[in-house]
Amino acid sequence: MLFFFRRYGIFPFHTHAESTVAAHVATNPIAELDHLTSFESSTETDREAASEEPTTMGAAELPRIDFTGVDASAPGTGRWDAVRAQVMDALATFGWFDAHYPALAPAQREALFDGAVRQLFALPADTKRRNTYGPGKPFHGYLGDLPDFDAYESLAIIDGQKPDEIQAFAELMFPGADNAVFCETVHGAAAQMAELEGTVRRMVMEGLGVADTQSEPMWHLFRVSEYGAPTADEKEREVRYGSHQDTSSLSLVCQHEVEGLEMQARDGRWILVRPSPASLVVMAGNALRAWSNDRVHAPFHRISMGGEATRYSAVLFSNPGGSMVRAPDELVDDAGGHPRRFREYNYDEFVRFCLSEEGGRHEDKLKVYCGV
Ligand SMILES: O=C(O)CCC(=O)C(=O)O
Ligand SMILES: [Fe+2]
């Protein structure tokens, strides 16, 4: 989810310059990831001074998890337990992983982006602005022309994995048109992403040993975004969406062909995650970090654009359905070194804090907002 704006100084690392020194991120037993690139950036000053081009590397120790053969409808069977162990390890260590997930077929992704998403962004701005959920939910719909978000636009559907919500959105965008193919295409992709989200969330709850959490209500936001390539009067590489942590529980990012997503390792280095036609990036947001009592890391990430191609992405966010976020008692253990790290907080109020001038002054907004 979004925490704007740079005019409020919310983004801690919105510098455009990076060092080009290739470096491995912390070691991790999780298997090889050949489409990741890493480049080092240690301090903001270093980054300002450094060149902008990332360096490609083998990245054999970055987190990749293969979900082939994991059956969402049959938890505990087949490779489930082994994959769950990898998920827990990756989320605790990195806060994210690249999920090999062929269930979202390359053809489906192509249909989503080339058939549906491009067509959406080609609509007139006034039409796109109809994608709003009212003043009470200011960042749930269309975003465009934002200060310091140059060449960035996005549209979002609340519970966009559900056919009725997609249909309502389609009617707003293409009134009077036959939307059947559009709706089927968006639903096909969003529902596959939601299935993986449900699997990962279930694994996290099982992995943390918290019983009966499947009944916790969640809501989702399906956001599609367009990022323009740097223009002639810009730098070779431009940060389009500055460094931030998501407020969500989980975010699943589907990148279409053009790279741009960079994940920040705990030591400050940025890792460019190359798009692959069969994988999604799964990352934790601050809601899961808080709920897990800080056992799960919520990584900073950003979008930086180089080259000449426009970038498209689709992200499915899952968010706590209840208004309050609180680590269950099972995850609080004073004697065992896990005292409560965050006070119970109201999800919407925390989002508003992130957007406020005060929130913008802090890098670790959750800790400032409700850290114990
Ligand atoms: O477009 C992307 O790849 C990710 C965007 C993002 O980080 C967000 O919308 O929170
Ligand atoms: Fe994000």
pLDDT in tens, 328-368: 999 999 999 999 999 999 998 999 899 889 999 999 999 99
* Average pLDDT of the segment spanning 108-128: 97
Of 147, 166, 309, 328, which Cα lies nearest the Cα of 241?
147
**Half-sphere exposure of 359 toward its Cβ, with a 13 Å CA cutoff?**
20
Nearest residue (CA) to ligand 1, atom 2:
313
What ipTM was assigned to the predicted interfaces of this complex? Answer: 0.99
Q: Which atom of ligand 1 is nearest to the CA of 281?
A: 3
User: Distance between CA 141 and CA 169 in Å, rounded?
Assistant: 10
Instruction: Report residue 199: phi and psi, to 5°.
Output: -65, -50
Q: Judge if the beta carbon of residue 88 lies within 6 A of ligand 1.
A: no
Residue 21 has a pLDDT of 23
C-alpha 154 to ligand 1 mean position (Å) = 10
Residue 26 has a pLDDT of 28
Residue 214 has a pLDDT of 55
Q: Judge if the beta carbon of residue 283 lies within 6 A of ligand 1.
A: no
Ligand 1 pocket test target in 221, 251, 258, 365 with most atoms within 8 Å of CB:
251
Q: Which atom of ligand 1 is nearest to the CA of 246?
A: 10
User: Distance between CA 283 and CA 17 in Å, rounded?
Assistant: 24
Q: Which of 176-185, 251-260, 275-284, 351-360 has the lowest mean pLDDT?
A: 351-360
Q: State pTM to two decimals.
A: 0.87
Phi/psi zone of residue 172: left (φ > 0), alpha (ψ -120 to 50 degrees), beta? alpha
- Beta strand pairing status for 64-66 and 96-100? parallel
Question: How many residues are given for the chain?
Answer: 372
Instruction: Report residue 220: phi and psi, to 5°.
Output: -125, 155
Handedness of CA 223, 52, 25, 243 (dihedral sign): negative
Q: Judge if the beta carbon of residue 252 lies within 6 A of ligand 1.
A: no
DSSP 117: I
60 pLDDT higher than 60: no
C-alpha 330 to ligand 2 mean position (Å) = 29
User: Distance between CA 281 and CA 273 in Å, rounded?
Assistant: 8
Q: Judge if the beta carbon of residue 298 lies within 6 A of ligand 1.
A: no
Task: Point out which residues pair with 315 in neighbouring strands.
Answer: 223, 253
Q: Which atom of ligand 1 is nearest to the CA of 223?
A: 9
- The answer to whether 107 and 189 have CB atoms below 8 angstroms apart is no
User: Distance between CA 6 and CA 12 in Å, rounded?
Assistant: 9
Q: Judge if the beta carbon of residue 264 lies within 6 A of ligand 1.
A: no
* Average pLDDT of the segment spanning 58-73: 85
Task: Point out which residues pair with 304 in neighbouring strands.
Answer: 239
The tokens describing 95, both together, are 């806060």
What average pLDDT does the chain have? Answer: 85
Residue 355 has a pLDDT of 86
Q: Judge if the beta carbon of residue 240 lies within 6 A of ligand 1.
A: no
